[in-house]
Amino acid sequence: MSQPASIRPHSPTIVPREAARLVAHTVAVDAVGLEERAASLAKRSIKKDAKLWALDLAIRSMDLTTLEGADTAGKIVALCAKAVRPQPTDASIPSVAAVCLYPQLVPVAAGQLSGSGVHVASVAGGFPSGLGPLDARLREIAEVVELGADEVDIVLNRSLFLGGRYAQAFEELVAAREAAGAAHLKVILETGELGSYDRVRQASMLAMAAGADFVKTSTGKIGTNATLPVALCMLEAVRDFHRQTGIRIGVKVAGGVRTAKQAIQYLTLVHETLGDAWLTPDRFRIGASSLLNDVLMQIDKERTGRYQGPDYFTID
């Protein structure tokens, strides 16, 4: 891998031909060992103050997400209110990191969230398949940034990647990186379609080398979403990338994270694999919709000692 010291912040770290080689030479992943390690970390027991801190972090790291064809301005206004003040009666509950939505609704969210500190994240680039015309995909990325998106969640072109056309997949990501300009770029690998952990690791390396700020597991649009072993695999790739280049890349898990317990399991993986430097919304995100209220319920449970019921938490 090329030396990181002199690169400009927005540049990919290598050229396309090297990218193809990088994929071919990515260190192997043993599926059984990886899954065992993830399962053993999931059994870590976090209690009391540490748990409250982790739950707080889970909220601060959350990309509150709605990605439905039926989303309306009204829905986004409500979601933004929830994002800024997840628990209206309790000022100690922090805002989430970002609201994640479709491009057309970005202006609504940008208006609602202005000055709140909550970011606007938009999917773009032909989400969720990433198979539209390249210029249209790139234009979409540039446009959402113009419309006010602070963060852009794009998809890896799995058609190219699984077809072995790594250099071309890499070039697309580099172009997307440029189109996103100053915005935070998250690259969704759609790990449920990649078929093996080796592929997940290779795709992570490719995206990181191409200039992604975050690698993200899933679109939430297919059957298989984020899993603990997939997340661990990506965290290990991030760890190696950091070791090799000195660059810290973030990880976003998305899809299927519905409970506070799951969120804490992911945070445990981050803590054990990458350390506390990654336990920040700058480097770890959870994309979710129903997770937030479960976390709020768990926080109240920890504080009051009572198990909570959903009627006591606002739906949005």
Partner 1 sequence: MTDRTNDRAPEAIEHASSGPPAWGYAPAPESTEIVRLEERYGLFINGEFVEPKSGRRFETINPATEDTLAEVADAGPEDVAIAVEAARDAYERRWRERSGAERAKYLYRIARQLQERSREFAVLESMNGGKPIKESRDVDLPLAAAHFFYYAGWADKLGYAFPGRDPSPLGVAGQIIPWNFPLLMAAWKLAPALATGNTAVLKPAETTPLTALLLAQVIQEAELPPGVVNVVTGAGDTGAALVDAPVDKIAFTGSTEVGKIIRRATAGTGKRLTLELGGKAANIVFEDAPLDQAVEGVVNGIFFNQGHVCCAGSRLLVQEPVFEPLIEKLKARLQTLRVGDPLDKNTDVGAINSRVQLEKIEELVASGVEEGAEIYQPECVLPERGFWFRPTLFTGVSQSHRIAREEIFGPVLSILTFRTPAEAVEKANNTPYGLSAGIWTEKGSRILWMAERMRAGVVWANTFNRFDPASPFGGYKESGFGREGGLQGLEPYLRLDGANGSGS
Nearer to partner 1 (CB atom), residue 77 or residue 247: 247
Which residues contact partner 1 by CB under 8 A?
Answer: 4, 7, 9-10, 27-30, 32-34, 36-37, 40, 43-51, 53-54, 56, 60, 91-95, 97, 117, 119, 150, 182-185, 211, 213-214, 236, 243, 246-250, 267, 271-272, 276, 279-283
| Min CB(173)–partner 1 separation in Å | 14
Instruction: Determine how many CB atoms are found less than 10 A away from the CB of residue 152.
Output: 30
| Min CB(159)–partner 1 separation in Å | 27
Task: Note if 47 is an active site residue.
Answer: no
Distance of CA 4 to the CA centre of its chain: 24
DSSP string of 125-186, one letter each residue: SSTTT--S-HHHHHHHHHHHHHTT-SEEEEE--HHHHHTT-HHHHHHHHHHHHHHHTTSEEE
Nearer to partner 1 (CB atom), residue 119 or residue 158: 119
Residue whose entry in the numeric block shows the structure tokens 């959402």: 144
Q: Identify the active-site residue in 153, 213, 294, 300.
A: 153
Check if the beta carbon of residue 308 is closer than 8 Å to that of residue 301. yes
Task: Note if 51 is an active site residue.
Answer: no
CA distance 173 to 309: 44
Q: Identify the active-site residue in 82, 150, 186, 252.
A: 252
Nearer to partner 1 (CB atom), residue 93 or residue 160: 93
| Min CB(97)–partner 1 separation in Å | 6
Nearer to partner 1 (CB atom), residue 88 or residue 246: 246
| Min CB(126)–partner 1 separation in Å | 22
CA distance 238 to 187: 13
CA distance 104 to 309: 35
| Min CB(281)–partner 1 separation in Å | 5
Contacts of 90 (CB under 8 A, 6+ apart): none
Sign of CA dihedral 37, 233, 49, 304: negative
CA distance 134 to 179: 11
Q: Identify the active-site residue in 82, 216, 294, 300.
A: 216
Nearer to partner 1 (CB atom), residue 4 or residue 132: 4
Task: Note if 252 is an active site residue.
Answer: yes
Catalytic residue list:
153, 216, 252
